[in-house]
Amino acid sequence: MKLYPPFLVLIGILGQIFVGQFVPIEPVLGPIWQTIGIVLVVLGLVMILATSRSFRQAETTIIPDGAPSILLQTGLYTLSRNPIYVGMAVILSGTALLTAHVWAFIFVALFVVAVDRMWIVKEEVNLEAEFGQQYRDYKQRVRRWL
């Protein structure tokens, strides 16, 4: 079974809920941080939806192990080669703040490492094979995360 990135986010959120409910650690973040958490969740969703729209408009696949027909380099792709994954990490950061437990942020780090190793490395190999020098030039201009 492949652990697609949205599933990794779900695992992370469930882990954060577990920490928030069952680990005997007193919450240390106040209500203002929970408000910021809501803002981050919304921001992450907007990033994902905007990027998804770019895929639909370009008529190319959004599936991480699919065969892309176009190398997207506009919109959020001018800031990050992986804006959907950044959006997912932003969502996890927001949900970590919502739990009010600093320990919930471990799941953000675990997500970043997991998606980097399980998906991004493979995607980059596929994109370089598909788009060659165009992708190598893009990699030189835009960072992997931020």
CA angle 106, 107, 109 (to 5 degrees): 65
Q: Classify burial at 95, counting beta carbons within 10 Å of its beta carbon; exposed 0-12, middle 13-18, buried 19 or more.
A: buried
Mean pLDDT confidence for 122-141 = 97
Q: Does residue 139 surpass a pLDDT of 80?
A: yes
Average pLDDT, the chain: 95
- Nearest residue to 20 via CA among 37, 8, 43: 37
From residue 78, alpha-carbon distances to 21, 25, 67, 96 in Å are 39, 40, 21, 27
Q: What is the pLDDT of residues 69-117, one digit of tens each?
A: 999 999 999 999 999 999 999 999 999 999 988 889 999 999 999 999 9
Instruction: Judge whether 125 and 68 are in contact, CB under 8 Å.
Output: no
How far out from the chain centre does Cα 58 lie?
21
CA of 41: how far to CAs of 1, 70, 97, in Å?
A: 27, 29, 10
* pLDDT at residue 11 tops 90: yes
For residue 134, the tally of other CB atoms under 10 A from its CB is 13
State the pLDDT at residue 106.
96
Say what the pTM is: 0.95
Instruction: Count CB neighbours of 101 within 10 A.
Output: 20
d(CA 141, CA 143): 7
Residue 30 in this model has a pLDDT that exceeds 90:
no
Cα 2 to Cα 64, 71, 146, distances in angstroms = 11, 24, 26
- pLDDT of 45 strictly over 90: yes
